[in-house]
Each structure stands twice: as C-alpha cells, then as structure tokens.
C-alpha cells in the first residue's frame, strides 16, 4: 500500500510534462476577442498567429536546408475601430506582452496580413 501511494505522489508532483496546448491558448484568445467585440463594439476583431521568418533557405525545388526564426510575439489580437487599430500582443504561452493603439494605412494592413495567419475573425465574413 505504501509503495502505491508513493507512485501516485511522484506521478502527480514529479511530472515534467510542461507542454502548453496551443488550442487552449487560441480558445482563450478567442474568448477575449469576443468579449472585446461585445463590450467595445468595434468594426471587427481578429486573432492572428505570426508566421516564422525564414533566415536561410538553400537548395532548389527540394529544400536541403531551411532555417526559420520565431518572434517573441506569437499571437496578435487586432481590434479595428473607426480611426485606429488596437493591437494586443501575446507570447506563445499566451502571456500578454502589452497593447498599442496604431493608425494603420493600407500598406501596413497588407504587410500585417502577409506576416500572419488568421486564427479567428469576428464578425465572420461571408
């Protein structure tokens, strides 16, 4: 009986599994985005994931070597108001890294769409 108790205790407290589930983080960010939309009534709210930047890419059609680098900002929540955008920055673990109000022009919006992948958009476009 005593050996079983130690096994259960070591299983619960000695766990080295610190893997973060990205689906849970995205769900939390979507919940935050819906709350922002409901409370502040902007035109739209988007949850975006940053793409990795390619540093080196060697080879022809079949890549022999490809290295990429992830930025510290992994998720963005973009709130679109009438005259400005509010950007909330999040790390890969879902920790808030701050927020900023920006006035974005068409070229900056195009560059933002090039560097990100849309995880969620509210209201949904038809």
Written as tens digits, the pLDDT of the chain (126 aa) is 444 433 333 334 444 445 678 889 999 999 999 999 999 999 999 999 988 776 565 665 655 555 556 678 889 999 998 888 999 999 988 899 999 998 878 888 888 888 899 999 988 665
Distance, in Å, from the CA atom of 103 to the CA atom of 85, rounded to the nearest integer, reads 6
Distance, in Å, from the CA atom of 16 to the CA atom of 42, rounded to the nearest integer, reads 42
**pTM score above 0.85:** no
For residue 26, give the nearest of 53, 44, 46 by alpha carbon.
Answer: 46
Map out the domains of the chain as residue ranges: 21-122
Is-contact 90 77, C-beta < 8 A? yes
Is-contact 121 46, C-beta < 8 A? yes
């Amino acid at each position: 009986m005593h050996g079983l108790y130690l096994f259960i205790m070591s299983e619960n407290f000695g766990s080295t599994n610190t893997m973060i589930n990205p689906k849970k983080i995205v769900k939390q960010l979507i919940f935050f985005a819906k709350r922002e939309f409901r409370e502040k009534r902007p035109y739209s709210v988007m949850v975006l994931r940053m793409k990795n930047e390619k540093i080196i890419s060697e080879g022809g059609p079949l890549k022999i070597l490809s290295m990429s680098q992830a930025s510290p900002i992994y998720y963005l929540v973009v709130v679109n108001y009438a005259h400005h955008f509010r950007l909330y920055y999040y790390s890969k673990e879902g920790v808030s890294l701050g927020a900023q109000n920006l006035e974005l022009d068409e070229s900056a919006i195009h560059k933002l769409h090039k560097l990100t992948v849309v995880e969620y958009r509210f209201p949904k476009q038809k």
